[in-house]
Structure 1
Amino acid sequence: MKFVTYLHEDVEQSGVVSGSRVFPIAGNPSVLDLVTSGLDSALHAGDSALSMGKSVALERVSLRAPLQPPTVRDFVAFEEHVEGVRRSIDGQAGVVEAWYEAPRFYFTNPYAIVGPDEQVRVPYGCAALDFELEVAAVIGRSGSGITVKEATDHIFGYTILNDWSARDLQSREMQVNLGPSKGKDFATSIGPWLVTADELDPYRDSEGFLDLECTVGVNGVEVGRDMLSNMGWTFETMTAYASRDTWVHPGDILGSGTVGNGGCLAELWGRNGERTPAPLRVGDRVVLSVDVLGTLANTVVAELPAPALPPVRRRDHARARASLRAAR
């Protein structure tokens, strides 16, 4: 089943997509409420919506992000992506050994979620804007210390994710051995809908990976194409790791990390030795497509001015020594 959040006649509504139509869910719970209620309850609500027969054509509604996640963990599960971006960011070849030890992730900003066909603003001071083609699992059941086998029952469904990245900001801030922060937290697109996990079962291979083709294009020109099954870890493994020593809760998002073979521009920059294709520009339209999960598109718009910050107060060694003498 495909759950959506949409705007119709100035009212935000949750619904179920079937074919080219969307069916509103009675009582208008948020999609996060549906996820929290559990898969069986959500499917029952969806079946009830379909049986009511009331619907509207998809072309007459504006889709929003399917849900507002409490947290967003973004993993880096594709070896090819790691290799290419590392060369782009710091000029080093190969993949660091630490990548092979566990499915690494970072927390990104749940307040910067962007929906289908919404604009993505260039972050202040960025001259190297990039997209990242990913798939995200959405947690449907709370848990801590989950095993890989148990994790199957904790995943409600999947959606497409675009982890927008300001590569020049990211490169500078990570020199401090922190981040990425402002290089990442300005926008994360998800959508167009949340597809329940059962719909993807026919595409699961013998090792538990999802055999889905993923593509990305800019202004109608294909830039990257890869299989989701090229991940180094399954979503179940990432769920287990995310819950280690802590909790995952309904609505939490676990991003796959960027697919290889052109899943982002930085990977191609690393392989090409220069910024070709060019960084995204104002007016560019980025379209991500994944089998079964649909298509997620956004258009880049210009940055806004930002208030100036005062310069850093550098350490004054003479003042520091004088303070120490006074303390004695």
Structure 2
Amino acid sequence: MRFARALLQGREVTAAVAGDPGAEVLHALRGTTTVVDLAGGDHGAAREATDWALRSSDAVPVSSVRLLPPVQPPSVRDFVTFEEHVEGVVRSVDGAAGGGVAPEWYQAPTFYFTNPHGLVGAHDDVPVPPGCAAFDFELEVAVVVGAAGRDVDPARAARHVFGYTVLNDWSARDLQRREMKVNLGPAKGKDSATTLGPWIVTPDELEGFRDEEGFLALRLRASIDGEQVGHDLLSNAGWTFEEMIAYASRGTWVRPGDVLGSGTCGNGGCLAELWGRRGRQDPPPLRPGNVVRLDVEGIGSVENRVVAGSDLTDLPVVPRARARSRRRERNGGRAA
């Protein structure tokens, strides 16, 4: 099964997706049913919703609608699970001579929280973030959580998978480099836009790609203006999605609709990895007019055009930190 969100005749709808690649059609689900509703139910509920839509809703060509992010998630966690990506980006973002992967990377599937309000659809334009001169894409796959869980056993985490979608973690590398020197982040370097789409594919459609170690061996491809810049296999990740769900749920809850990104694949899954390996910005940072396309076997493609964003000179000035004393007492009602 596949599920999408779209603007259809001026209203947002959640729909079942049918048809062959390149000729997909949407069938609106009943009433106000959402992906989060379906994710929180059982597999039978999603199947019943799909069967009703295919029987009762008109077929609308995907090419005639604007695809929205297929889910409105309560939270978005983005992991970093590809060793090859880390090797290259450490050199690029941190400027570390020789790069290298921190030993801690091998101990747990590390993630950060990104902005659920910055999601964009599969074909939406993506503005360059204010003040950014090193804009980048990141080719990922995301899992959408189904059943809620806390302290999930990795051996049983498959029960908490609703489906998979393509994720592009757009990144302002120069902003990211600055803020991570404070040993926090990434934050503003990442929160301007995240593409999700084109739809969510349920696990049963991808089981044929699963290898003997439990990884989904999906082919991944990234191109800019029609020229391929990266390709990899999803199975080169260091952890499975089930292990990511289990780790995310340690001491807390994962909820229906939560999105967990795989992290960026290797072998050119982003520009920063290539910059780090080559010692120069080759290919150059993304500029307005560039079109970035990400293809994931078995799921689909997203294609976004980069456009000009807000100019810093047109935005309110954020002051620098003020020099402050370190006095600890007040004198006569004023700081002493």
Match of 1:16 in 2: 16
The C-alpha deviation readout for 1:298-326, integer Å capped at 9, x for no partner, is 11111213211123211236xx38969x9
Distance of 2:328 and 2:248 partners within structure 1: 46
Match of 2:77 in 1: 73
Contact 1:65–1:114 (CA<8 Å) still a contact in 2?
Answer: yes
Q: Secondary structure at the match of 2:53?
A: helix
Give 1:276's aligned amino acid: D
Contact 1:39–1:140 (CA<8 Å) still a contact in 2?
Answer: no
State percent identity of aligned pairs.
54
The C-alpha deviation readout for 1:96-155, integer Å capped at 9, x for no partner, is 101000000000011111111111111110000000000000000100010111100000
Q: Secondary structure at the match of 2:246?
A: helix
Higher alpha-carbon deviation: 20-29 or 292-301 = 20-29
Distance of 1:94 and 1:273 partners within structure 2: 15
Structure 2: any 5+ residue segments left out of the alignment? Answer: none
- Tell me the number of residue pairs that the alignment of Structure 1 and Structure 2 aligns: 326
Match of 1:122 in 2: 128
Q: Secondary structure at the match of 2:276?
A: helix
The answer to whether the aligner puts 1:48 opposite 2:57 as a matched pair is no
Please point out which of 307, 323, 330 is paired with 1:314. Answer: 323
Distance of 1:24 and 1:290 partners within structure 2: 24
Give the deviation of 1:327 after TM superposition: 9.6
Q: Secondary structure at the match of 1:311?
A: coil
Q: Please give the residue correspondences for 1:1-328 in structure 2 after superposition, counting only pairs within 5 Å.
A: 1-19=1-19, 20-52=24-56, 54-92=58-96, 93-304=99-310, 305-316=314-325, 320=327
Higher alpha-carbon deviation: 285-294 or 45-54 = 45-54
Give the deviation of 1:61 after TM superposition: 1.6
Distance of 1:32 and 1:99 partners within structure 2: 31
Distance of 1:322 and 1:249 partners within structure 2: 46
After superposition, the Cα gap between the structure-2 partners of 1:34 and 1:274, relative to the gap in structure 1 and judged at 3 Å, is same
Contact 1:70–1:251 (CA<8 Å) still a contact in 2?
Answer: yes
Distance of 1:53 and 1:199 partners within structure 2: 23
Distance of 2:142 and 2:223 partners within structure 1: 19
Higher alpha-carbon deviation: 12-21 or 232-241 = 12-21
Q: Secondary structure at the match of 2:253?
A: coil
Give the deviation of 1:184 after TM superposition: 0.5
Give 1:306's aligned amino acid: L
Give the deviation of 1:53 after TM superposition: 5.8
Distance of 2:84 and 2:41 partners within structure 1: 38
Give the deviation of 1:89 after TM superposition: 1.3
Report the structure, 1 or 2, having the larger helix content: 1
Distance of 2:289 and 2:80 partners within structure 1: 28
Structure 1: any 5+ residue segments left out of the alignment? Answer: none
Distance of 1:256 and 1:69 partners within structure 2: 16
Q: Secondary structure at the match of 2:133?
A: coil
TM-score by length of 2: 0.93
Higher alpha-carbon deviation: 162-171 or 302-311 = 302-311
Contact 1:77–1:258 (CA<8 Å) still a contact in 2?
Answer: yes
Give the deviation of 1:7 after TM superposition: 1.3
Give 2:140's aligned amino acid: E
Distance of 1:90 and 1:24 partners within structure 2: 47
The C-alpha deviation readout for 1:39-96, integer Å capped at 9, x for no partner, is 3211210112112362112222221110111000100000000000001112322111
Distance of 1:38 and 1:191 partners within structure 2: 22
Contact 1:112–1:185 (CA<8 Å) still a contact in 2?
Answer: yes
TM-score by length of 1: 0.95
Distance of 1:293 and 1:132 partners within structure 2: 17
